[in-house]
Amino acid sequence: MRAAIAVIAGDGIGPEVTVEAVRVLLTVGQRYRHEFVLSEVPFGGVAIDLHGDPLPAETLAACREADAILLGAIGGPKWSSPQARVRPESGLLRLRKELGLYANLRPVSVHPALRGVSTLRPEVVEGVDLLFVRELTGGIYFGAKSRDAARASDLCEYSAAEIERIVRVAARIARTRRRRLLSIDKSNVLETSRLWREVCERVMRAEFPDVQLEHMLVDSAAMNLLRRPREIDVAVTENMFGDILTDEASMLCGSLGLLPSASLGEGKRGLYEPIHGSAPDIAGQGIANPYGAILSVALLLRHSLQLAAEARAVELAVHRAIGDGVRTPDIAAPGHRPATTRAAGDAVIAALGGAG
Ligand code: IPM
Ligand code: MG
């Protein structure tokens, strides 16, 4: 097949991990005879420096035209002083909103070789395989904001339609897994959560009677995520709860650097990015973990290009590279020399049977 991919390397470690992800994508292209046409576009802090705007019009246009967007990471101290007029993050929120990417999938699974890497006990994290479905274009992130010297406000709003569609995405995926859906809210306090719970109940009863639904308050979910993470199959939640809980969930597998994400809308086009940030403290050293970015390529192949076998091959190649001990400093085994970003990319490419 032929597919157009917009590539956004971004800031900090973004370029380093994206290079490896792109090499893996091109290897898949060679091995399986697909033509991936890449166009690199400026976005985030880099774009603020170049154009005074984190999401320049040409970048947005290129993203709209692409079949999928691969993103590294954005942000950094240079653009985040409290006085900053424009921030890289606002570009990311606009991009998600403009493209209607309301469903953010964040899978978390623990590689057997990395049981000991988590700060939690190995027997707690062993066998964890869960998926967060985070609502991505509503809630407090997008409500009206106001600010004066003595007061600030961020409005949290959800419509029934926004809740319905995200619950459907999560329930459809749950059907392909263990048929269990955990809906996380704060309905003992928030009106938006009470609506969330009602709509969720209604959609599930009418359309997904075969999927077992459980509700949990977000505070309790934060605790259970650390206490009994294996029991979670698919979890669906609103924008900000999902942001917070997925960083927490990443610690189950030991490093934020391992986790990919897919942001999807109604069509096939999606935005794929590791969930980690730009990590300015380690940028430029060649030691960032590229596996989250590479696994994002797998999600891109699966969800935007419908190349399930290729997606699986990339996941297995990462699995194998980690199993063979190719581990960047964040997940390194005690007493072993940590791998560089490039070495990790090389190991995945070798496992895919490509020369790189
Ligand atoms: C994420 C990030 C973003 C978010 C930031 C960079 C705006 O934390 O993708 O989880 O809060 O959504
Ligand atoms: Mg986040």
Q: Over range 36-58, report the average pLDDT.
A: 97
Token pair for 45: 């802090």
Residue of 69, 74, 92, 93 with the most ligand 1 atoms within 8 Å of its CB, for mutation? 92
What mean pLDDT value characterizes the chain? 97
Confidence at residue 355, expressed as pLDDT on a 0 to 100 scale:
57
Q: Which residue puts its alpha carbon closest to atom 11 of ligand 1? A: 243
Separation of alpha carbons 315 and 323, rounded Å: 12
For residue 343, give both structure tokens.
Answer: 């070495």
Alpha-carbon gap, residue 15 to 331, rounded angstroms: 20
Which residues share a beta bridge with 5?
38, 68
Name the H helices within the chain: 14-32, 45-51, 57-65, 88-98, 122-125, 160-175, 191-207, 218-227, 239-250, 291-303, 308-323, 341-351
Average pLDDT value for residue range 183-199? 98
Residue 293 pLDDT greater than 80, yes or no? yes
- Please state, in angstroms and as integers, the Cα–Cα distance from residue 177 to each residue in 210, 245, 246, 302, following that order: 12, 21, 19, 16
Given the DSSP bridges, would you call strands 129-135 and 103-109 parallel, antiparallel or unpaired?
antiparallel
In this structure, how many other beta carbons lie within 10 angstroms of the beta carbon of residue 280? 17
Mean pLDDT of 143-166: 97
CA–centroid distance, residue 55 to ligand 1 (Å)? 15
How many residues belong to the chain? Answer: 356
- Ligand 1 pocket test, pick from 243, 263, 276 with the greatest ligand atom count within 8 Å of Cβ, gives 243
End-to-end CA distance of the chain: 20
User: Residue 355 Cα, ligand 2 centroid: separation in angstroms?
Assistant: 34
- Nearest ligand 1 atom to the CA of 246 is 10
User: Residue holding tokens 């999927």?
Assistant: 211
**For residue 83, what pLDDT band results from cuts at 50, 70 and 90?**
confident
| Ligand 2 centre distance from Cα of residue 335 (Å) | 31
- Per cent of the chain over pLDDT 90 is 97
CATH of domain 1-109+261-356: 3.40.718.10
Task: Let me know if the fold of 1-109+261-356 is the same as that of 118-253.
Answer: yes
Spell out a b/e string for 92-118, using b for 16 or more CB atoms within 10 Å of the CB, else e. bbebbeebebbbbbbbbbbbeebbebb
Q: How far is the CA of 115 from the centre of ligand 1 (A)?
A: 26
Q: Active-site residue numbers?
A: 141, 186, 219, 243, 247
The b/e string for 149-169 (b: 16+ C-beta within 10 A; e otherwise) is eeeeeeebebeeebbebbbbb
Which residues, 6+ apart, have CB-to-CB distance to 334 below 8 Å?
none
For ligand 2, a single-atom ion, the residues with CB < 5 A are 243
- pLDDT at 353 exceeding the cut of 80: yes
Residue 332: CB atoms within 10 Å: 17
Residue 294 has pLDDT above 80, yes or no: yes
DSSP assignment of 146-184 equals: EE-SS-EEE-----HHHHHHHHHHHHHHHHTTTSEEEEE
Closest ligand by atom to 14 CA: 1
Q: What is the pLDDT of residue 82?
A: 83
What is the 8-class DSSP label of residue 231? G
Nearest ligand 1 atom to alpha carbon 75:
6
Residue 142 phi/psi, 5-degree rounding, is: -115, 0
Q: Whose CA is nearest to atom 4 of ligand 1?
A: 243
Identity (one letter) of the amino acid at 244? I
Which residues, judged by CB distance below 6 Å to any ligand atom, belong to the binding site of ligand 1? Answer: 75, 89, 92, 243, 275
> 19 CA distance to ligand 1 centroid (A)?
21
Distance (Å, whole) CA 43 – CA 187 = 37
Residue 301 has pLDDT above 60, yes or no: yes
Q: Find all residues with CB under 8 Å of 167, minimum gap 6, and list them.
A: 183, 199, 200, 203, 204, 236
Identify the pLDDT of residue 354: 73
Contacts of 172 (CB under 8 A, 6+ apart): none
Show me where the domains of the chain are located: 1-109+261-356, 118-253
Ligand 1 atom at minimal distance to the Cα of residue 89: 7
Eight-class DSSP state of 216: E
Query: Residue 337 Cα, ligand 1 centroid: separation in angstroms?
Result: 32
By percentage, how much of the chain surpasses pLDDT 70? Answer: 99
- Kindly report, residue by residue over 212-250, the tens digit of the pLDDT: 999 999 999 999 999 999 999 999 999 999 999 999 999
Task: Return the CATH class of domain 118-253.
Answer: alpha beta
Q: Which residue has the tokens 């590539």?
A: 7
Q: Which ligand has the nearest atom to the CA of 274?
A: 1
Average pLDDT on 41-65 reads 97
* pLDDT at residue number 39: 97
> Ligand 1: which atom is nearest the Cα of residue 239?
12
| pLDDT given at position 356 | 47
The CA dihedral of 94, 98, 100, 106, to the nearest 10 degrees, is: -30
